[in-house]
Amino acid sequence: EVQLVESGGGLVQPGRSVKLSCAASGFTFDEYGLHWVRQTPGKGLEWVSGISWNGAHIGYADSVKGRFTISRDNAKNSLSLQMNSLRADDTALYYCAKGLFLDAAAPEFDFWGRGTLVIVSS
Amino acid sequence: SSELTQDPAVSVALGQTVSITCQGDNLRRYFAAWYQQKPGQAPVLVIYGQNKRPSGIPDRFSGSSSGHTASLTISGAQAEDEADYYCNSRDSSGSLVVFGGGTTLTVL
């Protein structure tokens, strides 16, 4: 059974940093792209970032480029998102999602975690 | 702003057929994927590629594409199909992913 479990969310002050993690199990981790997708309560989905199976290709939404860094550790079956210079509009539920294919920009996400909530507020 | 446009809300009578559309110039080149999201739950992939359904998705869900419009069709809508539906695809550069704004489906 595929499982994706996010952690690291919480209340953080504007301008500060937080690192999200996603622990994966139930599939061959290094054969798939992985993604972070966020959702503001009551609003739509926003793709944040994606990383290819080997970490060689990475993409970011314009809204987070230069502030967020995605990474993966294939030895530990884990995905991370380092979030710096946080702003109020980064407040959202952050989902980890498994891609159906290898690359960082294939839009098919066949498994999702339950999300971790990040609230940016003073 | 999103490069994919969806109608905010659509309704369908129980048992009838409904199509939810997603428009964007990038859809002339790339397929859309479709997700169903119910309140308090993570999204679920229902259609991808050229009308492919993941395991466990009922065959009343189908997808199609024409020009700059992708469509998700539910044939014989059930009460449990009431949910938000999102499309996504590669952006115009092919290097990033974009989501549509979502469509709330009400089954009457």
Please choose, from the candidates B83, B81, B101, the residue with its C-alpha nearest in 3D space to the C-alpha of residue B6: B101
* B29-56 burial: b if 16+ Cβ within 10 Å, else e: ebbbbbbbbeeeebbbbbbbeeeebeee
Q: What are phi and psi of A88, to 5 degrees?
A: -60, -35
Task: Name residues whose C-beta falls within 8 Å of residue A70's C-beta, 6 or more positions apart in sequence.
Answer: A36, A49, A50, A51, A58, A60, A79, A80, A81, A82
Place of tokens 């809508």: B77
Q: Which residues of B touch A (CB under 8 A)?
A: 30, 32-33, 35, 37, 42-45, 48-49, 54, 86, 88-91, 94-102
**pLDDT-derived band at B1, boundaries 50, 70, 90:** very low
Q: How far apart are CA A52 and CA A46, in angstroms?
A: 18
Q: What is the pLDDT of residue A42?
A: 83
Q: How many CB pairs under 8 A join A and B?
A: 64
For residues B19-41, give the mean pLDDT.
97
Q: What is the pLDDT of residue A41?
A: 83
Percentage of chain A lying above the pLDDT 90 cut? 97
For residues B5-11, give the mean pLDDT.
97
Mean of pLDDT over chain A: 97
Tens of pLDDT, residues A16-25: 999 999 999 9
The tally of CA atoms less than 13 A away on the side-chain side of residue A114 is 5
For residues B47-51, give the mean pLDDT.
95
**pLDDT-derived band at B74, boundaries 50, 70, 90:** very high
Tens of pLDDT, residues A33-57: 999 999 998 889 999 999 999 999 9
For residues B76-83, give the mean pLDDT.
97
Mark yes or no for CB contact B49/A108 under 8 Å.
yes
Mark yes or no for CB contact B94/A105 under 8 Å.
yes
Q: Which chain A residues touch B101 with a CB distance below 8 Å?
A: 44
The tally of CA atoms less than 13 A away on the side-chain side of residue B23 is 4
Q: Which chain A residues touch B48 with a CB distance below 8 Å?
A: 100, 107-108
Q: What are phi and psi of B104, to 5 degrees?
A: -90, 120
Mark yes or no for CB contact A45/B86 under 8 Å.
yes
Q: Which chain B residues touch A100 with a CB distance below 8 Å?
A: 45, 48
Mark yes or no for CB contact A108/B90 under 8 Å.
no
Mark yes or no for CB contact A105/B43 under 8 Å.
no
Residue A42: closest CA among chain B residues belongs to which residue? B39
Q: Which of B45, B91, B102 sits opposite A109 (nearest CB)?
A: B45
